[in-house]
Chains A and B, each alone.
Chain A
């Protein structure tokens, strides 16, 4: 990794962390606003603001530090019960969150947006006014965090002796010791400082990228011991830190701490954290507890490991290749008919399968985090529209692939906005219709047949099919009204369709719903609607769990291998009489133990030359509740496979989801079962039903 990349990596880690923190901040505030918050929630908001300020300080992002400082101060007062949280204050804090986000967005730009700066000044003023109502206008001027902190460190504030030694990897890990000292200067007054570098070798022996810097300094501050230590919290593993109160004039609690010299040297190899604590004399219970917290936090940090996404992708690619290679070995083992070889390759296959599952599991994240973001969308949009809407989230712990989460956020946002805008009626209309004034919007997720299903449901007015048909005819999207309700509903996903009576600035521009469908289909997913007039609408997204690897069932048709995803496979039977009755037909219906199902001859459908004397079979596949029989020439059995996307030329191909390389080196095509089923159903088969989810 080059130096630029290193810096870039630590900066992007900052942005990612800041994003996480802003989300936690927002979640906590919204919870408090709903009246569901407690002291812990407030603490979470405070910690999030504090962390943003701290890491922004390390990178020298001054505007972020300055503004967040005011937010943090206000939250601190809120936490201490000095001021009360009312709706106005929470609104102010939520606006402040957006301001922090805007400021972070401006990092790296040469010139900031004047509007952002102006809003920052206004918000900062309001924040400080809430802190001290009726404060003189002089105080209301924006103060630089550093000078403010210095002022507060008046003569009565206690002095601390801070000794810090940065360990060798500090520079290489992207930290600059000077940043910590500068940041320390923002929480108090550094009255004296000098470098202490006993390990610094002569110029000839120096590895200039190893850090040998240490400092001893006197700090005068009102901040507590924990707060001083917190300054170094981003590099606790990288430094030895000793903080001692300096004089007898220090307040009582500081005197207590005095005896318990806090030595944090956790990361020194081979020195367990516990022994460091045990070595420190702990006569008072309070400091002992304080010391115990530090290692606890560390454990928490080591429980998670940030990994670059491309490294993980590379690992998953490799495991994909391993899956192919092990299938190849299996084939050879079968051909050789050597029992020990077969046994060994079977063992390898088991292990590869486990490794594959674990590797894919690494990318899985609960969908709940994404859902939680919609609290804010629902709050803002419903206020804008003057509607009262409650968001109900279920199935938040359902997991799906991280890359999927990112791709699904946009379509989901649009569906949610659409439901709020067009689905849920105004309070007056709702009361007139005998519904509670407060509308309900539900987000739900669950796993079904190897797919993740995400539903956006509302208890609004439902789709007005008459108007949809009228509009589609007007716009020339259709020549005559479709027969089934489901087909009418799908019209809203046609490009250029919009039925909003008045075009609102939210979702009435007629762009979007078709984009939603395109996005979902590009993820190999489908979208379905169920709607009952006056009762509500449910939009259902069905998406694959991952884009990388599937368990498949290998078949051949003509000379071509086709893979059917195992999750879609129901059963394999001999070709029923109905399928051979009419030799020219490529589809029809057959009777499966009393159930009438459509069938499709894959060979004829894809235009393969018929294989003479083939003992053909029929495989029954399903998606959701629709079942279809597919006629193939030969069944080869289960097969684990890595999906390789089709080349640019074949992007438009329907019914083929991708390709894969077999152990023998041949290429197999992966059937897109949902698309096939959809196509067969469109020709007289049964359309899948989606039920309106009862929002209760």
Chain B
């Protein structure tokens, strides 16, 4: 009886998790870039396109590059990247590159 209950709960949790955005935690920096890339690639293969960045600490150029690569990979597969919960540092780092929270260019250059 208990076994069935536990299985039900586990199935419920995984169903919930599948709908929730994948969380990225910790620093998005060169020090973790290789590890994060692998993780992101796996999540994309698993069908994820929504990512929750609320747990992100520091972010540097390598982190921005990862997000850009993630975006490009999803876009070329006809999917769309959804970022949520961007912390202040992430918004600031993207702004330095001229990007908003959806990785869109904020101000076009003059022709």
A interface residue numbers (CB < 8 A to B): 3-4, 161, 166, 170-171, 176-179, 181-182, 185, 191-195, 197, 200-204, 206-209, 211-213, 215-218, 246
Other contacts beyond A176-B30, A193-B109, A218-B110: 12, CB < 8 A? A171-B62, A178-B97, A181-B96, A182-B96, A193-B98, A202-B72, A203-B40, A203-B41, A207-B34, A208-B66, A209-B33, A215-B97
A-B residue pairs in contact (CB < 8 Å), sample of 8:
A171-B33, A179-B61, A193-B107, A194-B107, A194-B109, A204-B73, A209-B30, A217-B98
Q: Mark B62-73, 1 if CB is under 8 A from A, else 0.
A: 101110111011
Are the C-beta atoms of B98 and A213 separated by less than 8 Å? no
Are the C-beta atoms of B96 and A178 separated by less than 8 Å? yes
Q: Which of B40, B65, B107 is the one whose CB lies under 8 Å from A211? A: B65
When distances are taken between beta carbons in the complex, the residues of chain B under 8 Å from A170 are 61
When distances are taken between beta carbons in the complex, the residues of chain B under 8 Å from A178 are 60-61, 64, 93, 96-97
Q: Which of A181, A191, A200 is the one whose CB lies under 8 Å from B68? A: A200
- Chain A, residue nearest B66 (CB): A208
Which of B33, B64, B73, B96 has the most C-beta atoms of chain A within 10 angstroms of its own C-beta?
B96
Bound CA span A178–B97, Å:
7
- Chain A, residue nearest B34 (CB): A208
Interchain nearest-CB distance for B48 vs A (Å): 12
Q: Which of A166, A176, A204, A216 is the one whose CB lies under 8 Å from B109? A: A216
When distances are taken between beta carbons in the complex, the residues of chain A under 8 Å from B34 are 207-209
- Chain B, residue nearest A216 (CB): B109
- Asked if B105 lies at the interface with its beta carbon under 8 angstroms from chain A, I say yes
Are the C-beta atoms of B41 and A204 separated by less than 8 Å? yes
When distances are taken between beta carbons in the complex, the residues of chain B under 8 Å from A213 are 61, 64-65, 68
Known: A204-B73, A206-B37, A211-B61. A193 touches B31 (CB 8 A): no
- Chain B, residue nearest A182 (CB): B96
Known: A178-B93, A181-B96, A212-B65. A192 touches B60 (CB 8 A): no
- Chain B, residue nearest A204 (CB): B41
User: Could you tell me which residues of chain B, from 33 to 66, have a CB within 8 Å of some CB in chain A?
Assistant: 33-34, 36-37, 40-41, 44, 60-62, 64-66
When distances are taken between beta carbons in the complex, the residues of chain A under 8 Å from B31 are 3-4
Q: Give the A-B contact count at a CB cut-off of 8 A.
A: 100
Bound CA span A213–B66, Å:
10
Bound CA span A177–B61, Å:
6
Known: A181-B97, A194-B98, A208-B62. A202 touches B110 (CB 8 A): no
Known: A203-B41, A203-B73. A197 touches B68 (CB 8 A): yes
Bound CA span A216–B41, Å:
28
- Asked if B86 lies at the interface with its beta carbon under 8 angstroms from chain A, I say no
- Chain B, residue nearest A161 (CB): B109
The 7 residue pairs across chains A and B that have the minimum distance between CB atoms? A208-B33, A193-B98, A208-B37, A192-B107, A203-B73, A177-B61, A3-B31
- Asked if B76 lies at the interface with its beta carbon under 8 angstroms from chain A, I say yes
Interchain nearest-CB distance for B90 vs A (Å): 12
When distances are taken between beta carbons in the complex, the residues of chain B under 8 Å from A206 are 37, 66, 69
- Asked if B99 lies at the interface with its beta carbon under 8 angstroms from chain A, I say yes
Bound CA span A195–B30, Å:
18
Interchain nearest-CB distance for B59 vs A (Å): 9
Bound CA span A178–B68, Å:
14
Are the C-beta atoms of A176 and B61 separated by less than 8 Å? yes
- Asked if B3 lies at the interface with its beta carbon under 8 angstroms from chain A, I say no
Interchain nearest-CB distance for B26 vs A (Å): 14
Q: Mark B93-111, 1 if CB is under 8 A from A, else 0.
A: 1001111000001011110
When distances are taken between beta carbons in the complex, the residues of chain A under 8 Å from B64 are 178, 195, 213
Which of A202, A206, A212, A213 has the most C-beta atoms of chain B within 10 angstroms of its own C-beta?
A206
When distances are taken between beta carbons in the complex, the residues of chain B under 8 Å from A200 are 65, 68-69, 72
Q: Which of B41, B62, B70, B110 is the one whose CB lies under 8 Å from A192? A: B110
Which of B30, B40, B73 has the most C-beta atoms of chain A within 10 angstroms of its own C-beta?
B30
Are the C-beta atoms of B30 and A194 separated by less than 8 Å? no
How many residues in B have their beta carbons less than 8 Å from beta carbons of A?
31
Bound CA span A215–B36, Å:
23
When distances are taken between beta carbons in the complex, the residues of chain A under 8 Å from B72 are 200, 202
Q: Which of B62, B73, B97 is the one whose CB lies under 8 Å from A209? A: B62
Interchain nearest-CB distance for B24 vs A (Å): 14
Are the C-beta atoms of A203 and B44 separated by less than 8 Å? yes
When distances are taken between beta carbons in the complex, the residues of chain B under 8 Å from A246 are 110
Are the C-beta atoms of A203 and B109 separated by less than 8 Å? no
Bound CA span A216–B62, Å:
18
- Chain B, residue nearest A197 (CB): B68
Q: Mark B4-36, 1 if CB is under 8 A from A, else 0.
A: 000000000000000000000000001101101
When distances are taken between beta carbons in the complex, the residues of chain B under 8 Å from A185 are 96
Bound CA span A40–B62, Å:
41
Bound CA span A354–B96, Å:
54
Bound CA span A200–B64, Å:
12
Bound CA span A176–B29, Å:
10
When distances are taken between beta carbons in the complex, the residues of chain A under 8 Å from B40 are 203
Which of B36, B61, B97, B110 has the most C-beta atoms of chain A within 10 angstroms of its own C-beta?
B61
Are the C-beta atoms of A195 and B73 separated by less than 8 Å? no
Bound CA span A179–B60, Å:
9
When distances are taken between beta carbons in the complex, the residues of chain B under 8 Å from A193 are 96-98, 107, 109
When distances are taken between beta carbons in the complex, the residues of chain A under 8 Å from B97 are 178, 181, 193-195, 215
Bound CA span A197–B70, Å:
13
When distances are taken between beta carbons in the complex, the residues of chain A under 8 Å from B98 are 192-195, 215, 217
Are the C-beta atoms of A3 and B30 separated by less than 8 Å? yes
Are the C-beta atoms of B69 and A201 separated by less than 8 Å? yes
Interchain nearest-CB distance for A193 vs B (Å): 4
When distances are taken between beta carbons in the complex, the residues of chain B under 8 Å from A204 are 41, 73
When distances are taken between beta carbons in the complex, the residues of chain A under 8 Å from B105 are 194
Interchain nearest-CB distance for B39 vs A (Å): 10
Bound CA span A207–B60, Å:
16
Bound CA span A216–B31, Å:
26
When distances are taken between beta carbons in the complex, the residues of chain B under 8 Å from A179 are 61
Are the C-beta atoms of A203 and B108 separated by less than 8 Å? no
Interchain nearest-CB distance for A219 vs B (Å): 11
Interchain nearest-CB distance for A201 vs B (Å): 7
When distances are taken between beta carbons in the complex, the residues of chain B under 8 Å from A208 are 33-34, 36-37, 62, 65-66
Bound CA span A221–B72, Å:
33
- Chain B, residue nearest A202 (CB): B73
